[in-house]
Amino acid sequence: MIIYLIIISLMSLLTYFSYSIDKRKSIRGKWRTKEKTLLMMSILFGALGGLIAMYSLRHKTKHWYFVVINWIALLLHLAVGYFIYTMGLFNSIPLL
C-alpha cells in the first residue's frame, strides 16, 4: 500500500507542476503542453494533482472533459487503492 501511495504522490506532484507550467506559458503566450499529455498524466495516477492544479490555478476548468476525466480518474485511483488495501496486496513486499 505504501508503494501505491508513493506512486500517487509523485505523479500528483508531477501533474500539478505540469499544469502550473502550462498555465504560466498560456499567460505569456508561449508554446503549450498538449492537452492529451496533461490528461494522460492525470489518468496515470496524477488525478489528485490535476484537480488541485485545476481549481487552485484556475486552469482548464472551462474544458468539461478535463473536469470529468480528472474526477473519474481520481475515483478509479481511490478504488484501486481500496482494493489493494483490502486484499492486502504488496504487504509482503519490502520497500528496499
The total number of structural domains that make up the chain: 1
Judge whether 96 lies within some domain.
Answer: no
Q: What is the pLDDT of residues 34-59, one digit of tens each?
A: 999 999 999 999 999 999 999 999 88
Query: CA-CA distance, 83 to 36, in Å (whole number)?
Result: 28
Range of the domain at 57: 2-21+32-87
b/e for 73-95, b at 16 or more Cβ within 10 A?
Answer: bbeebeeeeeebeeeeeeeeeee
Judge whether 80 lies within some domain.
Answer: yes
Judge whether 93 lies within some domain.
Answer: no
Judge whether 46 lies within some domain.
Answer: yes
Q: What is the pLDDT of residues 55-81, one digit of tens each?
A: 999 888 889 999 999 999 999 999 999
Judge whether 62 lies within some domain.
Answer: yes
Cell reading at 46: 496524477
